Homo-oligomer: A and B are copies of this chain.
Amino acid sequence: MDYTTGFSLPRDVLLDRAHSEALLANRWFFVGTRGDLPRPGDMFGFDLFDENVMLIHGHDGRVRGFENRCLHQSARLLDDPTGSCGRRLVCPNHQWSYDPSSGELRGATGMPRAFVDDPADGFTGLRAVAVEERSGLLFACLGEPDASDLDRLDDVIRPYTDPFHLDRGGYRVALHERETVDANWLLVMINNRECVHCRANHPGLCELFDPSSFNGAVTPAYTARFDDAAARWEAAGLAWREQAFDPHDAVRVARYPMSEGHASITFDGRPACRRTIGPWTEHDASTLSIWLNPNAWIHYTSDHIATNWVIPLDAGRCVLATTWLVHEDAVEGVDYDIDHLAEVWRVTNAEDVGLCRSMTAGSRSRHYRPGPFGEDERWCVQFCDWVMANL
């Protein structure tokens, strides 16, 4: 493929889904957090091309992945995005049952006892899908990649994420939303990797964050605000120096100050949730943000965590999933209002979706030609380089 670094992805990488399938078969991708399925027996499913995968929080505390397909007649064991089971995971069709921790077949309605006790090849249990957890973040892979890649990622992020102890619980899902988007998932990611489009397209978000900060070309006023925030972060014992992608890395970590008068990522500046989380005992006008290749971005504030991830259904259609996590003791209607909590990313994501649809339409033109990235789109270059290196 004719790829030049500094330019966007070749048309066939965008339009031919085999490339995306290869990328997701070889590399770990983000599929949520422990907060999405906090209790043993909790389940969380997602489509990926023609496959459907479910994550299960095992009774031993570990989160595993399985193909969401009963061995009997291929029905979905989990029909909704989320659910919960007890000690047995039972298929709604004919009640075949499985151990939710191991995926092993435990009951097969109508089959001789030996079918379960002495199973034939391919009928011992659900097909496993590789899932690993690091810092409370969950990663899946359809193939069998090297888990040490995730150790390296965790080495980078753990100093930042550990004070939020997502891996040790304490959170509940305030809201989980999924939108099917008529856009190529790689273009959704490229859009996410720059903020040059922000000033014209995200007027609300730009009230909260100075877009130039994202791009690196900062104003003296912003520098002053950043230095103030850094002093607070230091005082709180929080790591705060940006760790950016290098050509081999799949992660960027940064902390950003919010505009004055903002207690959280809300348009009105009021707290998104009355209860603070992790290291924070008071609301703080800042965010810890993590961008992960190939498909996610996460914002930790002092009162909630918002995870965003993208997963392709085909070359021109993907799902954008967002979870808002709050303190496990926070009470809806008392400590937070869902629409107030969710407003900024709902609005901002909708604005981005419009741009991503537009870029996707443009990529279908016979005359499409990968366009160049500017200086402030350096993370787009990193993303495209990373994609091309990992196809």
Contact = CB atoms under 8 A, between A and B. Distances in A.
A95 B8 CA distance: 17
Interface string A111-135: 1000100000011000100000000
B201 A93 contact: yes
A377 B108 CA distance: 13
B371 A74 contact: yes
Nearest to A51: B365
A83 interface: no
Nearest to A120: B372
Given A51-B365, A73-B359, A75-B359, A197 B94 contact: yes
A363 interface: yes
Contacts of A67: 365, 367
A366 interface: yes
A73 B367 contact: no
A92 B51 contact: no
Contact of A371 (B70, B362, B371, B372): B70
A69 interface: yes
Which DSSP category, helix, strand, loop or mixed, fits chain A's interface? loop
Contacts of A259: none
Contacts of A110: 196, 373-377
A369 B52 contact: no
Interface residues of A, number: 52
A195 B8 CA distance: 52
Contacts of A75: 355, 358-359, 362
Nearest to A190: B73
Interface in A43-99: 50-52, 67, 69-76, 79, 92-95
A93 B357 CA distance: 11
A368 interface: yes
A364 interface: yes
A190 B358 CA distance: 33
Interface in A174-233: 187, 190, 196-197, 200-201
Contacts of A22: none
Interface in A336-391: 354-355, 358-359, 361-369, 371-377
Contacts of A359: 73-75, 93
A354 B75 CA distance: 10
Point out which of A73, A368, A372 has the most chain B C-beta atoms below 10 A from its C-beta.
Answer: A73
Given A70-B362, A95-B200, 8 more contacts: A50-B365, A51-B366, A69-B362, A73-B362, A74-B362, A75-B362, A76-B358, A92-B355
22 contacts: A50-B364, A51-B365, A51-B366, A67-B365, A70-B371, A71-B369, A71-B371, A73-B187, A73-B362, A74-B365, A74-B368, A75-B358, A92-B200, A92-B358, A93-B201, A94-B196, A95-B200, A108-B374, A110-B196, A110-B374, A110-B375, A127-B367
- Nearest first, the 9 A-B pairs at minimum CB distance are A110-B374, A74-B362, A50-B364, A69-B362, A75-B358, A72-B371, A76-B358, A94-B196, A110-B376
